[in-house]
Chains A and B, each alone.
Chain A
């Protein structure tokens, strides 16, 4: 199975900050990497697919980059509604696997 490792596991940030979350795959997955946002008690939502493509309706302050084994999710200017947990997920092969999550908290 492909292991997905996110860092950090949690971070504290202020509104307006630039935030970067990294995701590393245990083997090359090309750009078959998706990012999701989950708020407490809610279902996850797709943010980014194919490593860098913005899902419909997602604000442009979210961006993704990377290929191979190393990927990043960047929030350019953190908003109050962005405090949540973020997960990366690979679809390179089955079983699809998720990172352990990164919780973004208010500083």
Chain B
């Protein structure tokens, strides 16, 4: 059974940093890209970014709203994905979901988010 468990959320002051972790189990972690998606209270879903598998270079992509402040990384030996969040703003307050990304064809854009963690709440407030 695929499981994704986020940790590290909490209350943080504006301008400070926080690191979220996502511990995966039930699949070969290194074979998959991983992404983070967030949801502000009462709002819709917003893609934060993703990290490709090592087979595809392990490169990252980010939403403009977090680029330069957030960094996604992975430790395939521990089956953990990370989201390092720096210079946090009040508008970063959200539930952050760790997700597994599946590539369903050989083309460049055929991705789906097929499993989600339960989410962890990050509140940025003074």
A binding-site residues for B, Cβ under 8 Å: 1, 30, 32, 34, 36, 38, 43-46, 49-50, 53, 55, 87, 89, 91-101
Contact = CB atoms under 8 A, between A and B. Distances in A.
Interface residues of B, number: 26
B7 to A, nearest CB: 15
B45 A95 contact: no
Interface stretch (B8-16, B79-87, B108-116): B108-116
Given A43-B97, A89-B45, A95-B47, A50 B118 contact: no
Given A43-B116, A46-B114, A55-B114, A100 B109 contact: no
Given A50-B105, A96-B47, A98-B47, A91 B111 contact: yes
B47 A100 contact: no
A30 B45 contact: no
A82 to B, nearest CB: 18
Please list the 8 inter-chain residue pairs (A to B) with the smallest Cβ-Cβ separation, ordered nearest first: A49-B112, A43-B116, A96-B47, A91-B111, A98-B45, A94-B61, A32-B109, A95-B63
Q: DSSP class of B's interface residues: helix, strand, loop or mixed?
A: strand
A45 B118 CA distance: 11
Contacts of A91: 109-112
A103 B123 CA distance: 25
A50 B114 contact: no
Contacts of B47: 89, 95-98
A36 B35 CA distance: 15
Nearest to A33: B112
B44 interface: yes
Given A44-B45, A98-B46, A89 B109 contact: no
Contacts of B110: 32, 50, 91
21 contacts: A1-B64, A34-B113, A36-B45, A43-B116, A43-B119, A44-B45, A45-B116, A46-B113, A49-B102, A50-B104, A55-B114, A89-B47, A91-B109, A91-B110, A92-B109, A95-B61, A96-B111, A98-B44, A98-B45, A100-B44, A101-B45
